[in-house]
Amino acid sequence: MKLWVLRHGEAEPRANTDAERRLTSHGREQVLHSAAHLLGQPLQAIIASPYVRAQQTAALVHDTLGFAEPVRTVPWLTPESDVQQVIGEIERLGLEHVLLVSHQPLVGALVGMLEQGHLQQPAPMSTASLAELEGQWPLAAQMTLRRLHHVA
């Protein structure tokens, strides 16, 4: 299984609610830079948080890749989602090549858990950072972090 975890691009500092924060123009540029690393990858699904900035990020990646399937929006990819629940949901998908688009602190904790098996060392995921993990199953400490791309 290959799993890519993408943090949304830079977002506006304020909105009526955290969920309504939108990408800035710099954030859109960041996402396009990260999306370039996904060109040619055999993605089966793009799965995103319902928050506006994650939806915008997923849409930019979707369009950049010319991805045929629609972006799937799920409630279990929000900033404070439970890492173990997310791992269970990924496993239930039954897919081999998946891109998740979400937020900190979830993305750092998820990558850390899948690679190391604990939450003590979350991966350093800045805006539009893209982690590529590989392993037999999406289980704690059972995946290898192949690459971690950061965008300036």
C-alpha to C-alpha distance for 90 and 3, rounded to whole angstroms? 9
Which tens digit of pLDDT belongs to each residue from 8-40? 999 999 999 999 999 999 999 999 999 999 999
Which tens digit of pLDDT belongs to each residue from 83-140? 999 999 999 999 999 999 999 999 999 999 999 988 899 999 999 999 999 998 777 7
Q: 139-146: long-range contacts (C-beta < 8 A, 24 or more apart)? A: 139/87, 139/91, 139/114, 140/87, 140/113, 140/114, 141/113, 141/114, 141/115, 141/116, 141/117, 142/114, 142/117, 143/1, 143/3, 143/114, 143/115, 144/115, 145/111, 145/114, 145/115
Confidence of residue 1 (pLDDT cuts 50, 70, 90): very high
pTM comes to: 0.96
- Residue linked to tokens 């350093």: 124
Which tens digit of pLDDT belongs to each residue from 78-96? 999 999 999 999 999 999 9
Domains of the chain by start residue, with CATH: 2-149 (3.40.50.1240)
